[in-house]
Amino acid sequence: MDKQEKRNMIARRVAREFKDGDVVNLGIGMPTLVANFIDGDKKVILQSENGFLGVGPAPEPGQEDPDVVNAGGQIVSILAGGACFDSAVSFGIIRGGHVDATVLGALEVDEEGNLANWMIPGKLVPGMGGAMDLVVGAQKVIIATEHCNKKGEPKILRRCKLPLTATKEVDLIVTELAVIEVTLSGLLLREVAEDSSIEEVKEKTEAELIIPDEVGVLR
């Protein structure tokens, strides 16, 4: 699988987590791809934290509205039935538990569900933007990430080393190799990719994995 196929596979799997009627906030980058794979039979309302509900696809060329951008600055549309609001209402929606699920990337995630995804001291300090609020506030926090970093090192660790975005908030980790649920007793391996194996997932994961009797197939 090339990089794009991996990203699409992760996004497709994440999209299956949503229920009909869910309000969902998708982070920047790979999480944004998830919108392409949401089952048309499910009504999922996407929130953009810069101030609206009802995020729709990029408009046809010539129809772009400079006032309608998502939180990554990309021109999008607002679907019929959408709503606009200020930043206090937007983050009230987020912290108040009105967002059913958020999908974000990770630099590191660990056994306790701690997440680091906003800075690398001395190297990358973009600021947390809305990430800390989303991870604390959303009912379900789904991490969509490649299993290892660019150096091939595990991102799923016993303890995060980088500055945290939030503590004990992650619920599910979806990578190109596995689907892992964060439980009170640790990381539970739910699914393994068709072309991978439990052994490969264990080898590429620093954290301890709980292996149930039945492990599903990630496809």
Catalytic residue list: 49
The residues near 115 (Cβ < 8 Å, ≥ 6 apart) are 104, 106, 108, 109, 135, 141, 143, 160, 164, 165, 166, 169, 170
Q: Does 186 bind other proteins (CB under 8 A)?
A: no
Per-residue buried b or exposed e for 117-154, using 16+ beta carbons within 10 Å of the residue's own CB: bbbeeeeeeeebebbbbbbebbebbbbbbbbbeeeeee
Binding mask 143-182 for other proteins (x = CB under 8 A): --------------------xxxxx---------------
Q: Does 130 bind other proteins (CB under 8 A)?
A: yes
Please identify, among the stretches 5-13, 78-86, 180-188, 191-199, the one whose residues bind other proteins according to the rule CB under 8 A. Answer: 78-86
Residue whose token pair is 């800075």:
119
**Amino acid found at 51:** G
Least distance to other proteins, CB of residue 29, Å: 12
Least distance to other proteins, CB of residue 57, Å: 16
Q: Does 79 bind other proteins (CB under 8 A)?
A: no
Least distance to other proteins, CB of residue 84, Å: 6
Torsion of CA 19, 20, 23, 28, to 10 degrees: 60
15 or 93, CB closer to other proteins? Answer: 93
**Amino acid found at 44:** V
- How many residues touch other proteins under the rule CB under 8 A: the total is 39
115 or 142, CB closer to other proteins? Answer: 115
Binding mask 22-61 for other proteins (x = CB under 8 A): --------------------------xxxxx---------
Local structure of 97: helix, strand or coil: coil
